[in-house]
Amino acid sequence: MKNILISTGGSGGHVVPAKILREHLQSNFNIFISTDLRGLKYLDNKKKDIVLINTPKLNLNIFFIFKIFQVIYLVIKTVLLLKKNKINIVFSTGGYMSLPVCFAAKLLGIKIYLLEPNIVLGRANRFFLGFCNKIFSYTKNLKNFPEKFKHKIQIISPLVKKNFYEKNKIKKENKVFCFLVVGGSQGAKIFDNIIKNVIVNLSRKKKIKIIQQTHKSNINNLKNIYDQAQIENTIFDFEENLADFIYQSDLCITRAGASTLAELSIMNKPFLAIPLISSKDNHQFENANFYKNIGCCWIMSQKDFSDVNLEKFLNHIIMNKSEYNVKKNNLEKHNFQNSWNDINQKILETINEN
């Protein structure tokens, strides 16, 4: 059985796809995962197949030269690691964390596959396009993608955990309209400040339910506000099994990380995206815009995200569901042929033919 190393780290946006890749590949290969310190919190670091490669961020400052030597050291360390574990294939989910792994794999002549979950090609993935065998993407129209490497794109449906497909088969009947609020792996303070007031105001007109992600330190405060307003609520900081919350919801207010949007899409949940303005190359806006262009979501810019605008929008949705139903039907059409087995087969076929 061949051995695969999946390189990841940083935010949940990199680690979640890596974990799903492992889920797809673990029946056919021995899987190892390399990560930096930030990525460890999303992984079971007690497992023997988790390897720490803590790559520094190469910012142009007085420590730049020192960090270059750190990366060189990590490349040498990774070469020894790849040899020791007899790695045959390397997968990278992008980010600067992948630098030592991809360089080491290139030096050893090991096959390299890239995964780009965003609509905008990441800078690390762009750098390694010349080295890789294939790059897995959710669309052939990746932004900033060099024309000469277009033949390397392998289209797959967005990666989500297997339980999302299983949960989506269960028919749900909501008597109360349920909002889900997710701000990404760290939550979003701007959501805390605005959404609670809007939800309380809406609850005076119509019975609603709220499931909201927030920072751990804010859970009790937020829960007390909703309890006092007699709003059914579930407040959480990080939930491994987000499928249950998405399943219970009708509409999601969210940032626009690729993994979150993929999970909402596969479960046919319309969403209002508030793209993070600081995302590199504006990739969160492009992620959301992909779904907007096929009629599956709404986008509100962060500068327009206010109590007044949000309340007006949500009030329109729950009082007149025609626009909401169009979005939901478009999602169902978009995901009609998506299946776990189809993605699994495409990944395995691509690996085996190269």
Q: Which CATH number belongs to the domain containing residue 55 in this structure?
A: 3.40.50.2000
With a cut of 90, say whether residue 231 has pLDDT above it: yes
pLDDT digit string, tens, across residues 242-258: 899 999 999 999 999 99
Say yes or no: 227 and 175 in one domain: yes
Say yes or no: 120 and 171 in one domain: no
Say yes or no: 115 and 194 in one domain: no
Say yes or no: 188 and 86 in one domain: no
DSSP for residue 286: H
* Lowest mean pLDDT, pick from 20-24, 122-126, 234-238: 234-238
DSSP 162-206: HHHHHHHTS----SSEEEEEE--TT--HHHHHHHHHHHHHHHTTS
pLDDT of residue 249: 95
Say yes or no: 180 and 285 in one domain: yes
Say yes or no: 31 and 127 in one domain: yes
pLDDT of residue 174: 66
pLDDT of residue 152: 97
pLDDT of residue 184: 60
Domain extent for 72: 3-157+338-353
Say yes or no: 22 and 143 in one domain: yes
With a cut of 60, say whether residue 185 has pLDDT above it: no
Nearest to 288 by CA among 118, 95, 94, 93: 118
Q: What is the mean pLDDT of residues 154-169?
A: 89
pLDDT of residue 260: 92
- The three-state secondary structure class of 241 is coil
Number of domains the chain is built from: 2
Say yes or no: 118 and 191 in one domain: no
pLDDT of residue 348: 95
Say yes or no: 207 and 240 in one domain: yes
With a cut of 70, say whether residue 179 has pLDDT above it: yes
**pTM, to two decimals:** 0.90
pLDDT of residue 177: 94
Residue 323 CA from chain centroid, whole number: 26
pLDDT of residue 239: 67
With a cut of 90, say whether residue 56 has pLDDT above it: no
CB atoms within 10 A of CB 317: 19
Integer Cα distance of 113 and 191 in angstroms: 36
Strands (E), the chain: 3-7, 30-35, 50-52, 89-92, 111-116, 134-137, 153-155, 177-182, 208-213, 232-236, 251-254, 271-273, 297-299
Say yes or no: 201 and 136 in one domain: no
Q: What is the mean pLDDT of residues 130-148?
A: 95
Say yes or no: 32 and 44 in one domain: yes
pLDDT of residue 47: 74
Give the containing element (helix H, strand E) for 308. helix 307-319
pLDDT of residue 171: 66
Integer Cα distance of 49 and 184 in angstroms: 26
Say yes or no: 305 and 347 in one domain: no
Whole-number percent of the chain with pLDDT over 70: 95
pLDDT of residue 233: 96
Mean pLDDT (the chain, rounded): 91
With a cut of 60, say whether residue 187 has pLDDT above it: no
pLDDT digit string, tens, across residues 274-325: 999 888 788 999 999 999 999 999 999 999 999 999 999 999 998 888 999 9
